[in-house]
Amino acid sequence: MNRPLIVIFTAIVLDAVGIGLIFPILPSLLQEVTHAEDVAPYIGTMTALYAVMQFIFAPVLGALSDRLGRRPVLLISLGGAAINYLFLAFAPNLWMLLLGRAIAGLTSANISVASAYITDISPEEKRARRFGLFNAMFGIGFIIGPVLGGALGDDWLRLPFIAAALLNACNLLLAFFILSETRTPSREKIDLSALNPLRPLRWVFSVKSLLPIIIVFLIFSATGEAYGTCWALWGSDTFQWNGLWTGLLARHLRCLPDPRPGFPSGAGGEAARRACSHSDGHRRSVHCSDRHGLRYPELDDLRDHAGFHPRRHRRAGFAVSGDPAGR
């Protein structure tokens, strides 16, 4: 594997770590800064704030990477993440924590830029496998995040943030010396409509056969997020779990990645993929997955019956540039 890919995959792991890092320590941290017994509303607010900022700024960073180049946007986001985690480590009150969590969501929105970088440096025959590894790196990050947050948070509630800051700083140095620019900066003005995170939904909702799939997937995703949001609070109140136990158990329940995308090519990889498939040999794709790496083969069947296939509807794929509609 070439060195730029290692840096990009490390950035993806750290983005996923940042999502899970705070969950095991969140109840204790919020009780410390708010002096309140009922911190459930604050937990929901911080979780939603991170996701909203990531959702809003993913197309913005993608558009900036088209205009300025991939490398500067990635470097700025990695540097911003390192500084922000230090900010979180010493935030004295709730409002500072909320601000820090919002900035963390903004800097982790570099996923679209990272995926665009992979597309730029990957020959067509290797893209499928590398994007399979892209998903696998997210799974690894979701394993590491809760465990790291719980283990370090038991010693000091702010220690996980310092660890995340150091990891992002190290990756920033690697990226600075290893990553080269893969896209010539454009002199064209940024299309402001490309900054709208809702833009892809207009196309999705225009395809009526997709609506049932989207609704089912939305329900799957929403229910999957619900337990992650209240897991630490429930474990602490009901079983008096410390941060380490909360993180370890969250690791087992949150991470069920589909191993097939990361299998090597060749006869061995093909045999492994067949072993993971159904008896009819049909290899169900990974287009229907949530951001935790969970796979829903049934949704792929629904997609096929609805007459939808990404090769015929390319704009439905994951946005890898400033145009979230996949132009």
State which amino acid sits at residue 301. Answer: D
What is the structure's pLDDT at 251? 64
Residue 64 has pLDDT above 90, yes or no: no
Name the token pair of 222: 């929403």
Residue 325 has pLDDT above 60, yes or no: no
> 3-state class of 295 per DSSP?
strand
Q: Are 74 and 68 in contact (CB under 8 A)?
A: no
What is the structure's pLDDT at 94? 92
Mean pLDDT to the nearest integer, 111-133: 88
Residue 299 has pLDDT above 50, yes or no: no
DSSP states along 170-187: HHHHHHHHH----SPPP-
Report d(CA 149, CA 298) in Å as an integer.
Answer: 33
Report d(CA 17, CA 171) in Å as an integer.
Answer: 13
Name the token pair of 125: 């025959």
Mean pLDDT to the nearest integer, 157-166: 90
Structural domains of the chain, with CATH: 3-181+198-315 (1.20.1250.20)
Measuring CA to CA, which residue among 327, 326, 324, 325 is closest to residue 58? 324
